[in-house]
Amino acid sequence: MAADPDVVTRLREWFAERGVTDERRMFGGIAFLDAGRMVACGNSHGELMVRCDPAQTAELSAADGVAPMEMKGRPVKGWLEVDRAAVVDDAALDAWLSRALAYARTLPPK
């Protein structure tokens, strides 16, 4: 299944406004990278995958519609899955993507 085009369009517009234009096909969706660091991805389930500080995963995943990301049944440190319903409005999308981009920028460029 391909990435949800509506989710990808919203992500593309948000990142473009911030000068982030590097996108790649990953995880059955489209990932957005800043200086080679993956920040977020619109996956094939219409969900948003966002990077976060691994120490904050439990706290952040307590929000409605948010869960720690898993791949093949195993947790992925520093990543969350945010349900489409949790980012219907632009303010919620902005909050999650701003947090993800800020954290990604604390990591060394690749």
Please list, in sequence order, all residues whose beta carbon lies within 8 angstroms of the beta carbon of residue 100, skipping any fewer than 6 positions away: 39, 40, 50, 51, 52
Question: How is residue 109 annotated by DSSP?
Answer: P
Q: How far apart are CA 28 and CA 39, in angstroms?
A: 16
**Domain regions of the chain by residue span:** 5-104
Taking each continuous run of H as one helix and of E as one strand, the counts in the chain are 3, 6
Q: How far apart are CA 104 and CA 4, in angstroms?
A: 23
pTM equals 0.92
Query: According to the model, what pLDDT value does residue 2 have?
Result: 65
Question: How is residue 4 annotated by DSSP?
Answer: P
**Angle at Cα 106 formed by Cα 29 and Cα 10, nearest 5°?**
30
The segments of the chain whose pLDDT lies below 50 read none
CATH of 5-104, one of 3.90.1150.30, 3.90.1300.10, 1.10.530.10, 3.40.1440.60: 3.90.1150.30
